[in-house]
């Protein structure tokens, strides 16, 4: 019996990737790599009650941040065409190492449009395996250079099992569905989404009780879940989604077990909890759009904040504008430092292409944790080279960017969510 119990536990909760040590950036120490270094007694105070968090989330609703439960039962052809027109093909891309041809691009666009009626019924689906949400109905990667494998321009974001989806449209080939998720729209392989009725679907959208993944990656019954994936609870058991051979949802009940990897409900919104969750990604590979079973800079902070119930948009530009903050565009170096030092741990700082989570100040230097693709290094002659680091790191705000400008001077806004 003990061996059976042990095997079940390993199958339910097994983080599937061991993290490598994070690279030490300039002016950082090994001690800073431990979350305990940054935690404070004040950081255990509740920042916002659940009622305030609900109000914050409502204020951040937008065209892409969708109220799924309140979505219309139909979508017009004009609206569908508007959604699809948001994605345009860049002809200067490489697919399978070769330039994307005009013929291939046109075929892909025509496949995406498919058959759109003047009024289209919405279907209800649940994602049944960790999936890649795509710009177009294809799993082929599109890159800016023939050698690149890290930055697939047709990769939008990764989607966890159990994610509720509104199915708005099918491609002409019938092997992909165009879906509306809570914070994104795009294409998913049809065989990775199970169709169900609205009543059952709502159990995944608005479960009365649920668990939240609070580790970077967790394996539950052979399915990979990333931080903040939500698992509905039924009679004390997880509901794990499966897809029948006919394409319909089958909810499998799995005994629930709560620990450091899975928490019942959201974590309390405290500064320390934000930092604890952020540090679970330290050393993780940079994953553009969720590639590498990991996160990019905006998915990193989205996941951290979701663990306390705050639903940030998926992309950094939307995160920056979704909530009031302090504009830093026209400020000088000293003014920027004063603003940053006044931030509370867990606040976010933005540049036009990056987002970072503030840790605090040590020895008069403000520090941050962020998922970075690269940074700049300067040699003895003053030449700047771009170092592709591709991982979640800790650095101070003076870290040199690949363009040769320190991150502090690239910052456009700071947001303190409370």
What is the residue-averaged pLDDT of the chain?
Answer: 92
Residue intervals in the chain for CATH 3.90.1720.10: 21-62+267-415
Report how far residue 370's alpha carbon sits from residue 389's, in angstroms, rounded to the nearest whole number.
12
Q: DSSP characters for 209-240?
A: SEEEE-SSEEEETTEEEETT-EEEEETTEEEE
What pLDDT does 131 receive?
97
Report how far residue 248's alpha carbon sits from residue 351's, in angstroms, rounded to the nearest whole number.
43
pLDDT at 185 over 80: yes
Of 155-164, 337-346, 378-387, the range with the lowest mean pLDDT is 378-387
Where do runs of H (alpha helix) occur along 19-99? 50-59, 77-85
Residue 323 is given by DSSP the state S
Question: Quick one: average pLDDT of 44-59?
Answer: 95
Q: How distant, in Å, are the alpha carbons of 27, 33, 191 from that of 30?
A: 10, 5, 45
Superfamily of domain 21-62+267-415 in CATH is endopeptidase domain like (from Nostoc punctiforme) (3.90.1720.10)
pTM (2 d.p.): 0.92
pLDDT tens digits for range 96-146 = 999 999 999 999 999 999 889 999 999 999 999 999 999 999 999 999 999
187, 196 Cβ separation under 8 angstroms: no
Report how far residue 347's alpha carbon sits from residue 368's, in angstroms, rounded to the nearest whole number.
10
Please give the helix or strand (H or E) that residue 376 lies within, else none.
strand 365-378
What pLDDT does 20 receive?
53
Question: Quick one: average pLDDT of 273-292?
Answer: 97
Residue 328 is given by DSSP the state -
């Amino acid at each position: 019996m003990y061996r059976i119990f042990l095997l079940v536990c390993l199958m339910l909760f097994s983080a599937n990737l061991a993290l490598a040590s994070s690279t030490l950036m300039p002016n950082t120490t090994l001690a800073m790599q431990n979350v305990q270094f940054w935690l404070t007694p004040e950081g255990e105070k509740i920042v916002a009650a659940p009622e305030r968090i609900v109000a914050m989330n409502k204020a951040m609703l937008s065209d892409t941040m969708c109220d799924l439960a309140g979505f219309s039962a139909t979508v017009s052809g004009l609206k569908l065409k508007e959604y699809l027109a948001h994605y345009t093909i860049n002809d200067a891309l490489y697919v399978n190492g070769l330039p994307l041809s005009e013929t291939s691009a046109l075929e892909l666009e025509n496949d995406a449009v498919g058959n759109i009626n003047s009024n289209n019924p919405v279907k209800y689906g649940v994602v049944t395996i960790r999936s890649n949400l795509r710009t177009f109905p294809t799993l082929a990667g599109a890159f800016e250079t023939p050698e690149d494998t890290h930055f697939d321009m047709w990769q939008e974001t990764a989607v966890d099992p159990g994610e509720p989806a509104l199915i708005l449209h099918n491609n002409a080939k019938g092997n992909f569905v165009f879906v509306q998720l809570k914070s994104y729209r795009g294409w998913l392989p049809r065989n990775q989404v199970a169709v169900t009725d609205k009543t059952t679907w709502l159990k995944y959208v608005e479960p009365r009780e649920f668990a939240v993944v609070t580790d970077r990656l967790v394996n539950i019954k052979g399915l990979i879940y990333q931080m903040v994936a939500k698992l509905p609870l039924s009679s004390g058991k997880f509901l794990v989604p499966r897809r029948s051979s006919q394409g319909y949802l089958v909810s499998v009940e799995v005994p629930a077990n709560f620990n450091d990897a899975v928490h019942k409900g959201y974590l309390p919104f405290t500064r320390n909890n934000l930092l604890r969750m952020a540090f679970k990604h330290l050393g993780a590979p940079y994953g553009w759009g969720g590639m590498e079973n990991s996160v990019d800079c905006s998915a990193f902070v989205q996941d951290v904040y979701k663990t306390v119930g705050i639903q940030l948009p998926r992309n950094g530009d939307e995160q920056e504008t979704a909530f009031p903050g302090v504009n830093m565009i026209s400020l000088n170096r000293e003014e920027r430092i004063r603003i940053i030092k006044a931030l509370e741990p867990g606040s976010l700082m933005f540049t036009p292409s990056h987002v970072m989570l503030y840790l605090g100040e040590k020895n008069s230097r403000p520090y941050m944790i962020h998922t970075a693709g690269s940074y700049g290094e300067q040699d003895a002659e003053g030449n700047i080279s771009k170092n592709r680091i591709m991982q979640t790191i800790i650095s101070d705000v003076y870290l040199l960017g690949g363009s040769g400008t320190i991150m502090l001077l690239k910052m456009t806004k700071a947001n303190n969510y409370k």
